[in-house]
Structure 1
């Protein structure tokens, strides 16, 4: 049976206007840009979408905008990150009504929790939503879900269909490859994509970088999957790591916002005022991008 989630999904930023409200026009335009670049999968309200800042009303708005824009031309995953199960379940039901292909379920933020806590949380959400679920391992920002706990949830909960692993480790997707072959193995860390493809432990990727560099990420994914003759996966991965080094100068996902504005996709707005240090870094990053657009495979 074909897996439900495969291929490249762009992790989409949440554009906001100067007053902090969601900018529906810029969001629609960004999705249209990605569709035009051959991306037909979208991940909404994940870490790249700054899900801790998104209210439930805004989440409903995002679902409506994305569903209406994508309509018949692609599919979308809905991040339902929350501090507790009740909020995650409510968002899961909203996403179901909007037609999300699957939910991305991060572990609850922001206190540290045990593996037993995380398992109880995931099972409670899974028992109360109808949409298929991808576990969302995001240990940089929430309690990390260990490989054995991930496997157990996938084996015991019929609507938990796999994992989006943003840890950078291949341990969980490798375990699933051996013991849960029907599970969706989605890489959520751009730096781990090429190694995962080479090891044949990835069905797809949810990529923040593809939100601004769809050309590069689709080239890496197709090269890794199809092993295209004459295409050097390592050389493409070197370009990606150059870009990631720039992103790492800023908090997630500020660098993507800066480069998105440089591509004319949306104004870069931030949850609070930038320090002088950040303003200087932003100018340096923009200068770097102007010099390296060709190396990043930017096509206007």
Structure 2
């Protein structure tokens, strides 16, 4: 089981919106050197919704190639069409991904039985470890713990990224007592508390800019070292807020560009960070010791 800090890595783009594979490789190297436990490629933070299928596959392959087995790579392959999710998951398996992260179907708002059948169908179609991803704030669809428990019985469904940001939900999931089933926070602001409550790691946006601190904090929290985890989290708590002053990944892409780690490109309908928020993000970066 993967534990600790799992970065939801951005997809770097030039100012005209073209994927920058050189910058992507550099970001992957930075994560490996920082002690990040795994990389999620082409998830929400990686702008999966605006990449073509070809681009999606190329970004997965580039990430896997650069990681070169030093850390696991989990590919975002979810879609609101079951057949499309199967296609992307097959592409991830062919590319050599260590797992697939599948978001709950967005917009069409399936009931719990529809969610169960959707994920079970994908798992039965593609033999690769699969992680469920619940993020109701983006999808208008909330997968309940009872549905998670049913899906955990499927052989190759091995974990969940829970991004509701609700500690009551965290406690409900831990109380299920699912054996050999990974529970990951998808909300940096509540990640430390979630891990101390029994979650196994954090699929993190903040880790894009502060990978070393997030790796150390998650390791401490998973180990139950509340004092050390709290001290480390205090160094980046401002980032947990500042990187969400506008919808993800707008602020984190701007922050990485401000740090000189990649160009500032982002794809419509997302736009660059509003100038009103520049100083908020800069201030959080300074407080974390990431810029002067």
- The 1:175/1:251 distance shift into structure 2, 3 A limit, reads closer
3-state SS, counterpart of residue 44 of structure 2: coil
Deviations 1:79-116 (A, max 9, x none): 11212011110110111111211110101122322112
Q: Where do residues 93-108 of structure 1 align in structure 2 (5 Å cutoff)?
A: 93-108=90-105
Q: Where do residues 230-269 of structure 1 align in structure 2 (5 Å cutoff)?
A: 232-269=228-265
Structure 1, 145-154 or 166-175: larger mean CA deviation: 166-175
Conserved? CA contact 2:9–2:46, under 8 Å: yes
3-state SS, counterpart of residue 119 of structure 1: helix
Separation in 1 of the partners of 2:236 and 2:142? 25
Deviations 1:247-274 (A, max 9, x none): 2221111110111112221112222388
Q: Using the TM superposition, give the Cα deviation of residue 52 of structure 1 relative to its aligned residue in structure 2, in angstroms.
A: 0.9
Conserved? CA contact 1:146–1:172, under 8 Å: no
3-state SS, counterpart of residue 136 of structure 2: coil
Q: Which runs of 5+ in 1 are unaligned?
A: none
Separation in 1 of the partners of 2:270 and 2:92? 33
Conserved? CA contact 1:40–1:73, under 8 Å: no
> Normalising by structure 1, what TM-score?
0.88
Q: Is the aligned partner of 1:160 residue 2:160?
A: no
Q: Which runs of 5+ in 2 are unaligned?
A: none
Deviations 1:6-26 (A, max 9, x none): 222111001112332211001
Separation in 1 of the partners of 2:50 and 2:267? 8
Separation in 2 of the partners of 1:287 and 1:62? 28
Separation in 1 of the partners of 2:92 and 2:142? 24
Q: Where do residues 101-180 of structure 1 align in structure 2 (5 Å cutoff)?
A: 101-142=98-139, 143-155=141-153, 157-170=154-167, 171=169, 174-176=172-174, 178-180=176-178
Q: Using the TM superposition, give the Cα deviation of residue 174 of structure 1 relative to its aligned residue in structure 2, in angstroms.
A: 4.4
> Normalising by structure 2, what TM-score?
0.91
CA RMSD across the alignment: 2.3
Matching residue within 264, 273, 280 for 2:275: 280
Separation in 2 of the partners of 1:210 and 1:225? 16
Conserved? CA contact 2:136–2:164, under 8 Å: yes
Total equivalences in the alignment: 290
Q: Is the aligned partner of 1:54 residue 2:51?
A: yes
- The 1:254/1:184 distance shift into structure 2, 3 A limit, reads same
Q: Using the TM superposition, give the Cα deviation of residue 280 of structure 1 relative to its aligned residue in structure 2, in angstroms.
A: 1.9
Q: Is the aligned partner of 1:65 residue 2:57?
A: no
Conserved? CA contact 1:147–1:172, under 8 Å: no
Q: Where do residues 184-203 of structure 1 align in structure 2 (5 Å cutoff)?
A: 184-199=182-197, 201-203=198-200
Conserved? CA contact 1:215–1:298, under 8 Å: no
